Structure 1
Amino acid sequence: MKNKTNMQKLFFKKNPATYTWILFFWSVTMCIFEYFAIKYSILPTYTNRHFFFVFLLILNQLFVAIFFFCGISNLVIAAKYQFIKKKEQQQELAILKQPLPKRWHPRVQLLYTTYNDFIPYAFAQCLNQTYDNVQGVILDNSTDEKYIKMIQQFVKVHPQVKWVRNAPNKHAKAGNLNSYLCKQPKESYDYFVILDSDELLENKFVEKCLKFFYHNHHLGILQCNHISGQNYNSFMNLFSNSGNIFWPVQNVIRSVESGTLAPNKNDQQPHIIERGSTVCIELGHGVMISRECFEDIGQIPHAVAEDLCTSVEALLKGWNIRFASQIYGNEEFPVDMSALMVRSSKFCSANFEFFRNYFKTLKKTKLLTFYQKLDLLSFTLSVPMNAFQYISLLLSSIIFPLSNIKLGYQLLMLFPVLVCYFSQGIIDGFFELQRGMKFHKMLLYEIQIAFLYGSFYYLTVKSTFFALLKRPAKFNVTPKKTKHITLTDAFKKNWQGIVFSLLTIVFSIICSGCSWILLSFLPGCLGFIFELKANQQGKQDQQKLKRFEKYNYYALYEPKHEPLKWNE
């Protein structure tokens, strides 16, 4: 018992609030910015009784404030991560070194969700666990007979795997999970792991996760680290680096400072044990959830951002969520630019849906601190932020110049603007240099990242516009396959974004002579060429793809063959 208590002290510990530093740097930056804006822009416009433009100037300041806040948040979180990462790694490893008690042998189910995207080698590898009390369950929404027959063959040679059909596909992934979990008796499982179709788990995944749960009985959800390693073309190889950096940097900090809650037990209401300053959330896959936590929630919320909604429901019931940086899963990065856009569009609309559904609840709850609510707001706004940037750019480069309204921003503000604008790219570059990337290659990587995500303006603005009109969010499955793409194909796929960017540039230059606008919208005109990188396959990529195809065959017809390595 003493050893278990010591492990809990490692798991839950007090840390200085990152958001204190974020708010400090943000406040200083905004004070300087507002000084120039009010003195040289807002007050003269007010004096001239142009009240409508005063309103627009203040609105623009709000967008700039959100923009600065998100950028400064990224930089402060990355700096904090650099400072604590070794210590956190050591403390996690201390928990993982502890053996599981022989008397404690919980039942774990691996819930593999699929909708016309079943990957045999992936699930076969996930089943290859060192912990023995594990059952695999395929939750299948597929409508394509090719995939249905493939699953049928897989189950035939893996008789221990349960196959559950949910043909109506109602409520997408959340509905698929609920249609199974809500009908299961208590004795069927103690914990379950949610898997996406391309998921690979390390062989000790379940064993490691259970160690974290054993050392804290208030832990309801454990999200594990991910790498995008199943990459087999140049697009995937290049741009997966950003995600591989983002996962640990953001989630370690959110886990460390998330405080400690206690759920409703012994007729006691959910309550705070240790106040937190950030919110750790589960990210939809490679996550283990306890049966008690799920039963307390009742069901996975029927929403596109079902993972974010599930996290909030668990927190409101007093369950803790943690991130384990030393427990790994492996997933495919989106196979091409179009697939990445599908995923980004889904995130944008899903975050607005979450905000509408949970704003009032989060505002009222006393289980989350002000900082934690601010963290959730920041996380929710991080995807549609590009839309706010676009509106601010339109006001600054077209509306105000046409109306002879001076902005009054001094050259002094150029540096923080650029730092915030490129905050995520700066972080990626810093950690790539630490990993051994040459400086000139890092610069090239930074330029390519800026052009790729800079070409997403149209997509983000469109998604945000429809979301504000309360158009229902859709759960679009990210495509797992790509075809050879010609330059003409790439242009046709992206012509709306290209026209959108060109018109913005032309109107800005005509109205105000703002040639600097090219920096923001040139990527939208040229970014479509990254569609072609999906065609590029090196020798290693081709070998890896053949290896995946070979292991697909083994998983379907020769299950006793040596499985694919989880970090392939």
Structure 2
Amino acid sequence: MISILAYSVLAIYTIALFYITVYCVMQFNLLYHYKKYQKGGAAPQTAAQEPLTVNQHGELKRARASRYGEDKGETLVLADAAAEEWPFVTVQLPIYNELYVIERLIDSVAAFDYPTDRFEIHILDDSTDETIEVVRKKVEAVRAKGFNIEQIRREKRQGFKAGALRDGMEYAQGEFIAIFDADFLPRPDFLQQTIPHFQDPEVGVVQTRWEHINQDYSLITRLQALQLNVHFTVEQVGRMSGDYLLQFNGTAGVWRRETIEHAGGWEADTLTEDLDLSIRAQMKGWRIHFLEHIGSPAELPVEMNSLKSQQFRWMKGGAETAKKMLPAVWRSTTFTLNQKIHATSHLLASSIFLFVFITGVSSVPLLFLLGDLIELGFSKNFFAYFLVGLLSVIGIYYVANVQAPVHRDSFGKALFKFIFLFPLFLALSMGLSLHNTVAVLQGFRGKKSPFVRTPKFNIKTMRDSFRKHKYLSKKITWTTVLEGLLALYFAGAVVGGLYIQNTTFLVFHFMLALGYGAIFYYTLRHLSIK
């Protein structure tokens, strides 16, 4: 009976660990393509000589000549044409109760170095609080300076952000649609840097890299930056270089209007409408071009409950999009087998937390059953094979946060920060695995929930505070209680392992206890702010 139980637990643990390892190796493939690109390998390009045609499946097949820009390697410039011939752009700012940051966003967009009569600003305002009046006054002030700016409100907030973008298309006059969330501060040359890339007529989206204006505010913001830097260097560039599917990240990017319409428009049946439309657009033959060297500054969540709401939306939305789009991806005649495999890994990325959670929970009974397994001939050296996953992750995060050319820190400073922060990042990720697992399971089950936006508080420096601000959560959830119990569970495993003199999982259980304990502590601490 003990042997059956021991082998059952071992099987569960091994399957989960194998899934994590395969995912990490797939990510390492992106690192390979990233390094290849940085050494001079170019991203796949398409021809631009023949007229545009669309086959019977509605898929874009050939390019057409472009009116905009000239290619100068990584630096593209607008053509030497009169200002009135520059493409007209609609800048959409979808917001909901963004009292603290909306004015600075409008000011940033109004500062674009682009002819004022060649772009319009639409604030897609679904707010229900004082933000409405703040926006109204700001719009009047900016319009008085000669800008084409409108506050657009809907009677019902149907479809949340996707619904706002969908309904906003009715008013948009632009050939190109630039989108920014409320917490961004785009630089004046944003349109100058992005629009020329649409000279390639098969490019449907241009996405820029997120930068972090408050990265050094706290440990929480530093760890978020560590993770986001991976996506906005190794992952996005690696996918572009490897000719895999990329994604629009919901903000700090520009869409060709034709692409949105050709792909079926914004749909509100998932919480990650950006990923959903990205896949549908690429299925139609459009490409996404990522600009690693062009940064768009934004504010990171500074308190734990905001971070958790953001993570929940991303993880659940990712699962919803995977459920919706994976069958279509595999039926597609547009994608190669290699693209389908990597798209599957991409769409199932959120499920990694489910397997991290399973691995952690099952490792505790396995600790106490390991002796019985060894007596039955099992060698714990078997686990060493899975170190390839950990080594892959270390390599990916090292390159993204130390070697990537977009970072301004010296090598020594970047390396020191990485050595200090990376173990803490692993612990925090493990601590979020329960919360994110709930989100993933809800997504795959099809359980619907509202789009809970991540509140931002105009936090830029250490001197800024989010105390006494609105939008802070005051609710203790059942997952928070379980996170506290899991911290005790893994702390007990550390003590138990020392007691039975089995240190196989000692570091793993210590990091799990630290991660869950930190999540539990910061969640309660930030709930108590008055």
Q: Is 2:251 aligned against 1:285?
A: yes
Other structure's SS at 1:329 match: strand
1:316 Cα deviation after fit:
1.7
> What do residues 241-280 of structure 1 show as CA deviations (whole Å, max 9, x unaligned)?
312353122111212232xxxxxxxxxxxxxxxxxxx111
Q: In the alignment, is the contact (CA less than 8 A) between 2:234 and 2:400 conserved in 1? A: no
Q: Is 2:422 aligned against 1:446?
A: yes
Q: Is 2:153 aligned against 1:165?
A: yes
Q: Is 2:25 aligned against 1:72?
A: yes
Match of 1:102 in 2: 81
Match of 1:413 in 2: 385
> What do residues 522-551 of structure 1 show as CA deviations (whole Å, max 9, x unaligned)?
22343245679999xxxxxxxxxxxxxxxx
1:125 Cα deviation after fit:
0.8
Match of 1:123 in 2: 106
Match of 2:137 in 1: 153
Match of 2:454 in 1: 478
1:68 Cα deviation after fit:
0.7
Matches of 1:371 and 1:100 in 2, distance apart?
Answer: 37
Q: Is 2:174 aligned against 1:202?
A: no
Counterpart code for 1:346: R
**1:506 pairs with 475, 492, 501, which one?**
492
Matches of 2:210 and 2:323 in 1, distance apart?
Answer: 29
1:448 Cα deviation after fit:
3.1
1:394 Cα deviation after fit:
3.2
Counterpart code for 2:197: F
1:400 Cα deviation after fit:
8.5
Match of 2:200 in 1: 216
Paired residues for 1:350-499 under 5 Å: 350-398=317-365, 402=369, 404-405=372-373, 408-410=379-381, 412-413=384-385, 415-416=387-388, 418-420=390-392, 422=394, 425-427=397-399, 430-431=402-403, 435-437=411-413, 439-481=415-457, 482-483=466-467, 494-499=480-485
Other structure's SS at 2:350 match: coil
Q: In the alignment, is the contact (CA less than 8 A) between 1:235 and 1:533 conserved in 2? A: no
> What do residues 174-201 of structure 1 show as CA deviations (whole Å, max 9, x unaligned)?
00011121x247xx22111011011221
The two structures have a TM-score, normalised by structure 2, of 0.76
Other structure's SS at 2:156 match: coil
Other structure's SS at 2:120 match: strand
1:282 Cα deviation after fit:
0.7
Matches of 2:20 and 2:454 in 1, distance apart?
Answer: 28
CA 1:401–1:338: 2 relative to 1, 3 Å? same
The two structures have a TM-score, normalised by structure 1, of 0.72
**2:37 pairs with 84, 92, 108, which one?**
84
> What do residues 139-186 of structure 1 show as CA deviations (whole Å, max 9, x unaligned)?
011011x100101101111223111102411111000011121x247x
Match of 1:553 in 2: none
Counterpart code for 2:431: S
Matches of 1:236 and 1:500 in 2, distance apart?
Answer: 20
Match of 2:512 in 1: 521
1:290 Cα deviation after fit:
1.0
Match of 1:174 in 2: 162
CA RMSD in angstroms comes to 3.6
Other structure's SS at 1:87 match: coil
Matches of 1:95 and 1:447 in 2, distance apart?
Answer: 35
1:202 Cα deviation after fit:
1.8
Matches of 1:286 and 1:156 in 2, distance apart?
Answer: 25
Matches of 1:287 and 1:421 in 2, distance apart?
Answer: 27
1:480 Cα deviation after fit:
1.1
Higher helix share: 1
Matches of 2:446 and 2:390 in 1, distance apart?
Answer: 33
Q: Is 2:119 aligned against 1:134?
A: yes
1:210 Cα deviation after fit:
1.7
Q: In the alignment, is the contact (CA less than 8 A) between 2:77 and 2:192 conserved in 1? A: no
Paired residues for 1:316-327 under 5 Å: 316-327=283-294
Counterpart code for 2:487: S
1:490 Cα deviation after fit:
11
Matches of 2:174 and 2:38 in 1, distance apart?
Answer: 34
Q: In the alignment, is the contact (CA less than 8 A) between 2:207 and 2:254 conserved in 1? A: yes
Q: In the alignment, is the contact (CA less than 8 A) between 1:234 and 1:533 conserved in 2? A: no
Matches of 2:90 and 2:414 in 1, distance apart?
Answer: 44
Q: In the alignment, is the contact (CA less than 8 A) between 2:25 and 2:389 conserved in 1? A: no
**1:296 pairs with 259, 262, 267, which one?**
262
Match of 2:55 in 1: none
Q: In the alignment, is the contact (CA less than 8 A) between 1:509 and 1:515 conserved in 2? A: no
Matches of 1:150 and 1:525 in 2, distance apart?
Answer: 39
CA 1:219–1:426: 2 relative to 1, 3 Å? closer
CA 1:508–1:167: 2 relative to 1, 3 Å? farther
Matches of 1:326 and 1:291 in 2, distance apart?
Answer: 24
Other structure's SS at 2:21 match: helix
CA 1:216–1:87: 2 relative to 1, 3 Å? same
CA 1:81–1:490: 2 relative to 1, 3 Å? farther
Counterpart code for 2:419: L
Q: In the alignment, is the contact (CA less than 8 A) between 1:457 and 1:497 conserved in 2? A: no
CA 1:422–1:501: 2 relative to 1, 3 Å? farther
Gaps of 5+ in 1: 1-44, 259-277, 536-568
Counterpart code for 1:130: D
1:129 Cα deviation after fit:
1.5
Other structure's SS at 1:102 match: coil
Deviates more, 1:326-335 or 1:134-143: 326-335
